[in-house]
Amino acid sequence: MIGTGYVGLVSGACFSDFGHEVVCVDKDARKIELLHQGMMPIYEPGLEALVASNVKAGRLSFTTDLAEGVKGADAVFIAVGTPSRRGDGHADLSYVFAAAREIAENLTGPAVIVTKSTVPVGTGDEVERIMREVASGAGAKVVSNPEFLREGAAIEDFKRPDRVVVGTDDEEARDVMRAIYRPLSLNQSAPILFTGRRTSELIKYAANAFLAVKITFINEIADLCEEVGADVQEVARGIGLDNRIGSKFLHAGPGYGGSCFPKDTLALLKTAGDNETPLRIVEATVQVNDARKRAMGRKVIKAMGGDVRGKTIGILGLTFKPNTDDMRDAPSLSIVAALEDAGATVKAYDPEGFEQARPLLPNVEFSESAYAAAHGADALVIVTEWDAFRALDLGRIKAMLKTPLLVDLRNIYPPAEAERAGLKLVGVGKPKHG
């Protein structure tokens, strides 16, 4: 497994838990040293225990030496980063191609080279070309196997997936991939979808773009709800009970962030543009989502009477979603920026995101708890729906605030509950009179 980020480390740990022998490779010596010490470079629930048990069993190891890692391997997974490229938003594939070249230089025999990283259509063709150029006699076969892991639930998603997508037309490569994923059949009959390599690459982008569209749709409906006196949560339930639509990703909020949706929608748009097939719906989604995150800052300012200069605002949740320490494109970054630009002082609490957030939010005062963030603040804003924020003592919150105002950007609390505690509640997509 080349790369020990969210995808590589989780995948490597889960494969070893299936009984496979896995070597995780990373050029970052600090990461590998941390892993040797049993310390995780990322936060993912259950990962530390999973890694520890499989290291103890001798099935999982870590190294900075790629040659050692690929020696005798039946399959080599590429799970390195593909960040958005400056300038055009396309996926930066330099890490993928560098890994492919180094793998090719160190292959000791036939192996299936599996692209696990999220890559644009046609990337596998280039990886295959590199293999032919550098290791023509090694018998390498290049396969696409995109991941569909949710940060915060990655282990469960890996072990009990909705589907496994494998892109290859080579029967020998299919047999290897079937053997690797065979343990899944012990848990449930997760379908393995074999398809062409280019189709597999596009499936990943199409899936993420569709989910981004769905999130953005309900967010725009939320804005309409506020103007016409409807409740977006009830609207979402009303449409989500339709099996053709489904209830997932219909939770109105401050917009999507994270490591996948922002960069993957941009990469898909770049691919579409290069092939002269514009995706107008995805284009609109990206524009609306970018605007929404900043608009949530203005929503807080409006709830506070339109002027926040000299006021203190408490923020609960900084990461882009719960159960992760990932701050990439988190809505909190835009919200905090809007509040600070308007002259407010921001104090914040996040259960896991402090270390990642500090360099990105240098002017924020970091609090030790949700209640500490509320203490002396003129308003409290829920940005990320961590479990720790779902059952706060609202009476205690009210007593700590200078002004009894709770802006709930995740609609965690019913208005009646907030009212009983003496709080003014401002939600998302709620009737203005409610």
**Which residues does the annotation mark as catalytic?**
260
* Residues 361 and 318: beta-carbon distance below 8 Å: yes
Nearest to 420 by CA among 402, 430, 409, 406: 406
- Locate all alpha helices (DSSP H) within 47-153, ordered by sequence: 47-56, 66-70, 94-106, 123-134
Measured distance CA(434)–CA(424) in Å, rounded: 10
Six-digit token pair at 219? Answer: 């967010």
Measured distance CA(5)–CA(18) in Å, rounded: 20
Regarding beta strands 192-195 and 60-63, do their DSSP bridges make them parallel or antiparallel, or are they unpaired? unpaired
Q: How many residues does the chain have?
A: 434
Unique residue bearing structure tokens 């409006």? 302
Six-digit token pair at 288? Answer: 């609306």
Torsion angle of the four alpha carbons 275, 277, 283, 286, in this order, in degrees rounded to the nearest 10: -40
Measured distance CA(220)–CA(232) in Å, rounded: 10
H or E stretch including 262? Answer: helix 261-274
- Determine the 3-state secondary structure of 337 from DSSP: helix
